[in-house]
Amino acid sequence: MYITAAVLSVLLALVTLAAGAPKSLLKGDVSAGLQSHMGLSTGLVRFIGLAEVAAAVGLIVGLFWQPLGIAAAIGFAITMVGAVGFHAKAGDYADPATRGNAMAPFILIVLSIATAVTLGLAM
């Protein structure tokens, strides 16, 4: 079970780091889109990015101390629930052009929960 937990943790950590680093630095199209399309402030975009980077660190450290990994996975899932809410508020699920990208948080919620469960079982 530990190998599964490790694979899921590393995979989720890579995704969260890749998503969070540009937001925390306010670089790239995603940060600009969150500000213009979603109406988020610069500070909130940076905060979300830093939370995602912190989740990545927590997931890697959680390989050695599972309670931290579980907390990081659950925290990231909660962040993605917020992302679903923002996408719904912006009408992204009704628009076929934006629906595909807006579905990513659902997939990441499932991956986060799977990671938390496997880390818990590996203890």
Each residue's pLDDT tens digit, 86-107: 999 988 898 888 888 889 999 9
| Pairwise CA distance, residues 54 & 98, whole Å | 27
pLDDT in tens, 9-56: 999 999 999 999 999 999 988 888 888 888 889 999 999 999 999 999
Residue 67 confidence (pLDDT):
95
Residue 104 confidence (pLDDT):
92
pLDDT beyond 80 at 123 = no
pTM of the predicted model as reported, rounded to 2 decimal places: 0.90
The runs of H, that is alpha helices, within the chain are 2-25, 28-36, 42-61, 66-90, 96-102, 104-121
